A and B are shown apart, each in its own frame.
Chain A
Amino acid sequence: MEMNARQHKFGMVIDLDKCTGCGACMVACMAENNVPFKVDETNKRDSITWMRVYKLTNGKPYPEADACFLPRPCMHCEGHAGHSPCVSVCPATATDYSSETGVVSQIYTRCFGCRYCMAACPYHARYFNWWDPVWPDGMEKYLSPNVSPRMRGVVEKCSFCYHRYQLAREKAIYEERDEVAEEEYQTACTQACPAGAIVFGDLNNPDHQVARIVQPDAHHHFTGHSKIAFRLLEQLGTNPKVYYLTEREWVRKMCDQYNFGPQAAGH
């Protein structure tokens, strides 16, 4: 894949040793993106959470038990040259991989709800609107004009807060700047995380913190440089742009299915 200065590859690195599982990222995301809610949200298969924090446990008996939280946004998989699993199967081109930003988009008005993309996504990052969203009387007041509320029958997912990129870019253009600065475009979850566990930025820009932490290796399928870095289900070759860090080996093993590291990735 060729690179030039204009080609961004926005990505994220989440430090699982800092994550406390508090759920602020989930709520920040819901508040930022006009995500609806129902009276009963305990059926997690139809509960729309663009960002979802999973709890992992090491399975050992008390008191050797250990737990770890794993925030899971959309991985914005690049696959091979933009062939991410969901984009490849969408019959309506409602979801697309942007080679300019690396963001996997979702265009609600194009989506007709076949849900192939949900079947294709190995991360369960996509959600279907089985019902029209209903806000209690008066609560629509807090809805943000930057993100359109979705209707019944379409799939939605994390957009890396793309509207924030659009706003930041508009501002940059207005101020006659070529580039959006690192701090100008940050996702809502990154901004809210009280632990500072999420770092977001352009993986193609060596000055960005995310690129410095991850140092993606272009010759090894963009796996992270650090020994404690991994990606979810590395062996599937989805080439995600969300990286994780943890010192805990049991977590790394569990998350990339016992098949981690540049050597094991097979590329």
Chain B
Amino acid sequence: MKLDRRSFLSFVIGGAAGTALTPLPWKLTDDLSIWTQMWPWTPVPPDGAYSYVSTTCTLCPGGCGIQVRLVDKRAVKIEGTPGHPVNDGGICPLGLSGLQLLYGPSRVDGPLKRTAGRGAGRWTPISWDDAIGEVAQKLAALRGDGRPQAVAAISGSGRGTFSALVERFMTVYGSPNLMRPASAADACEMALYRMHGQQAMAGYDLENADFVLSFGSGIIDGWGSPVRMIRARSLWKERKVPLVQVEPCLSNTAAAADRWLAVAPGTEAALALGLAHVILSEGLYDYNFTAFYSAGFEPWRQMVLDGFAPDQVAQITGIQKDVIVDLARQFAKARAGVALWGRGRGTTPGSIDEAMAVHSLNALVGAVNRQGGVWALPEIDYIQWPEAEMDATAANGLQTARLDGAGLEPHADARSLAHRFFTAVAEGKTDPVEALLVFEANPLYTQPDTATVKKALDKIPFIVSFSSLQDETSAYADLILPNHLYLERFEDVAGPAGLNQALIGLTQPVVAPQRRTRHAGDVILALSQGLGTPVADAFPWESFEACLEETLGDDWDALVANGYVARPVSLPHWSSAFGTASGKFEFAGTYRPAPLEGDKGAFPLVLVPYDSMRIAGGTAANTPFMTKTVGDEILKGNDMFVQVNPQTADSLGLREGLYAELSTPRGKARVRIHLTQEVRPGLVAMPRGLGHTAFDPYLAHKGVNVNALLGPVDDPASGLDAAWGIQAKLAKA
């Protein structure tokens, strides 16, 4: 067939017209675009019946009320409980993203036994009976040998029935070596014990304060009960209550404060005493309180007047004399001024002198046990169990000295010194520790100087972790007996940190256990049964839930319905307010700074950790959502930035974004440089909470763990870890 011009043109034009008129190509294009967007693996969440369960968050000691939204049996969202005394509907990033932990890839599926070298990550699943049997056998053997004290335990679950159960187990088993992870609560308790003569926690009546003076406390950075603190600070804004922040760097709290005093690091106690000097010498103190309700006032007054005149303190702290005088007058003249201590989020105990110096300021202005002030709140005593019977093995074991030295001279009033335990075990200075039980704690990540902790763990032949999540310590254990996650179990939360209310919160199962886990409380009951009389006799309960229900008694029904009960707190009568020998408040606290570790010549800078609400720095680690909120001036890829003043960087030839080697006497890390005017010249600031090696790919190997670079420094006055930084060096990498 011959194709002439005419038929060629008709064919082309006809074809074009046909193509344009038929819907087929448009339909195909449309289908293609829809098809490329409709992959079957884009999930379609199933709908169902909606309900809410009220419970209490235990991811930090804050004790917030949460309500979990369920669609059928799926938990789909965590929200703050409106009207809850702690958080009234507010909630923090960690609490919000708890479901990422519940359903996340970091969960331990069931009991695991190590099959290769420690930390190699090779495990074999075992049955619960075998797992409990193995631990019971080991514990029974040690007890049979008459060495119950060779079992140590670290429990981070705080106050409450589970914690009391662990304590009771260790007692009847016969080991004094029960520790808790170090925190500012240690220093706070000890300061109150020395000054009030009571085992108590500080409860701050912040909602009624009218002047707040914070010595480095991260008021909006996670200190105390974080959501409650953020709420209190909003209230201060509305009521124009001044917040003065004393801190070397511009933390978020310092930026949010009405006034930021950029004090020389480590001299906060001197500033507190300088303020006391002005208050004393100008007669601005509470005469009534100092005269009738305090002891030791005269010698303390003399010490302050002799050593801490404003011009001397100006020299030490770098804060101008007239600023000190002015601030002291404002603080003393406020109707309800209150001073806070415990740096940052309160991850480390800090100097007890500093705590006492600041608390003495509270006493001077009459803020102790006063509306708008600070109250010593004894533990809520609802855990009333009959005294457990002990056999001779237990009694002998309990007679042995604690391996961390707490309760013994020179640290007679310390209750737990976790850092000294790990140092002592690592150095082989103690009797051998044959077994370590780890409950709700991750010391291999959270303790300063992780290399020493690792060395200590290497010397312990049997480590059992009860962690729900694959954290660093459980990765290094011999057996993992995973606990239910907080959304799957019963637990009580007594007296949230820093709150001036006697509040008990109930954590209750929101969903059925998602993995083959078991409540650690039930595991303890099973272990005690495995050990037989007399250990078993101390635990008459069928299950942890039964134990909890019996312990909480009449409050149980209200707790299940509302998630919390609040008991009225009345301020103690002055005649019974203090348990000291004098029956009065005892003034104490001076300025004896523990030197930072490291040679200033070799390590001319100072590394200081900082806390952020967007990075969980404790036993709870970051969720994927939280890590997503971390700025790219802190984390880029897996590289972490340290924050340095441009002046410091200039002197070292470092520029924005450059790689550098950061070294301290304890370790080295490759970091990048971020220049900022928020950091004091000479300091290197690094966030706490990054640099995990365990958990999931959304968190592991991102950045550097600051604890690998820090080391503990014993506070001469208490034995607690008083380190707030470490000498450091930065060099171009």
Interface residues of A (CB under 8 A from B): 15, 17-18, 20-24, 26-28, 30-32, 34, 37, 39-44, 47, 49, 53, 55, 57, 59-69, 109, 112, 132-145, 148-154, 191-197
Do B43 and A135 touch across chains, with their CB atoms under 8 A apart?
yes
Number of A-B contacts (CB under 8 A): 202
Smallest Cβ-Cβ distance to A135: which chain B residue: B43
Choose among A31, A37, A66, A138 the residue that contacts B96 (Cβ–Cβ < 8 A): A31
Which residues of B lie under 8 Å from residue A143 when comparing CB positions? 43, 45, 76
Q: Let me know if A195 and B233 touch, CB within 8 A.
A: yes
Determine if B628 and A137 form an interchain contact, defined as CB atoms under 8 angstroms apart: no
Q: Any chain A CB within 8 A of the CB of B679? A: yes
Among residues of B, the one whose C-beta sits closest to the C-beta of A47 is B628
B: residues with CB less than 8 A from A are: 33-34, 36-39, 41-48, 69, 71, 74-80, 87, 89-93, 96-97, 99-100, 102-105, 220, 226-227, 230-231, 233-234, 237, 250, 252, 255-256, 260, 262, 514, 613-614, 624-632, 635-638, 645, 647, 676-681, 696-698
Chain A binding surface, main DSSP class = loop
Chain B residues with CB below 8 A from A135, complex form: 43
A84 CA / B96 CA spacing, docked (Å)? 32
- B625 contacts which chain A residues (CB < 8 A)? 26-27, 30-31, 37
Distance, CA A167 to CA B328, complexed state (A)? 55
Instruction: Return 27 A-B CB contacts under 8 Å, by A number.
Output: A17-B237, A20-B233, A22-B92, A23-B614, A23-B626, A26-B625, A27-B97, A27-B629, A31-B625, A40-B638, A41-B627, A42-B637, A49-B629, A57-B678, A60-B677, A62-B647, A65-B677, A67-B250, A68-B255, A140-B43, A141-B103, A145-B76, A149-B44, A152-B37, A191-B80, A194-B87, A194-B230
Verify A21–B252 contact, CB threshold 8 A: yes
Q: Closest approach, in angstroms, between the C-beta of A109 and any C-beta of chain B?
A: 8
A85 → B minimal CB distance (Å): 25
Name the residue on B nearest A28 (C-beta): B96
| A136-B105 in contact given A23-B613, A153-B37, A194-B90 (Cβ < 8 Å) | yes
Q: For A42, A138, A191, A193, which residue has the most chain B Cβ atoms within 10 angstroms?
A: A42
Query: Which residue of the partner chain, among B45, B71, B77, contacts A32 with CB atoms under 8 Å?
Result: B77
B105 is contacted by which of A49, A57, A139, A154 (Cβ under 8 Å)? A139
Question: Complex: how many Å from CA A57 to CA B102?
Answer: 37
Q: Are B614 and A22 in contact (CB under 8 A)?
A: yes
9 more CB-based (< 8 A) A-B contacts, given A20-B230, A47-B628: A23-B629, A27-B626, A30-B628, A67-B250, A136-B104, A144-B76, A145-B45, A154-B37, A192-B91
Q: Which residue of A lies closest to B47 (CB)?
A: A145
Give the residues in chain A near B220, CB-CB below 8 Å: 20, 22, 195
CA distance A193 to B252 in the complex (A): 16
* Interchain CB contact under 8 A, A140 and B45: yes
Given contacts A22-B613, A192-B79, contact A62 B42 (CB under 8 A): no
A142–B90 CB distance below 8 A: no
The distance in angstroms between the C-alpha atoms of A63 and B680, with both chains bound, is 8
Contact indicator B77/A144 (Cβ below 8 Å): yes
Task: Say whether B629 contacts A66, CB under 8 Å.
Answer: no
Is B76 a contact of A49 with CB atoms below 8 Å? no
| With known contacts A67-B255, A141-B103, A151-B38, A31–B78 Cβ distance under 8 A | yes
- Taking CB atoms, residues of chain A closer than 8 Å to B104 are 136, 138-139
Asked if A18 and B234 make an inter-chain contact with CB atoms under 8 angstroms apart, the answer reads yes
Contact A63 B230 (CB under 8 A): no
Quote the shortest CB–CB distance from B462 to chain A (angstroms).
32
**Least CB separation from B29: chain A residue:** A112
Chain A residues closer than 8 Å to B100, beta-carbon distance: 139, 142
Q: How far is the CB of B80 from chain A (nearest CB, A)?
A: 7
Cβ–Cβ contact B698 & A26, under 8 A:
no
Distance (whole angstroms) from the CB of B92 to the closest CB of chain A: 6
A197, closest chain B residue (CB): B234
- Residues of A near B230 (CB, < 8 A) are 20, 22, 194-195
Contact A62 B677 (CB under 8 A): yes
B102 contact set on A, CB distance < 8 A = 142
Tell me if B48 and A145 are in contact (CB < 8 A): yes
Task: Please indicate the chain A residues that have their CB under 8 angstroms from the CB of B234 in the complex.
Answer: 18, 195-197
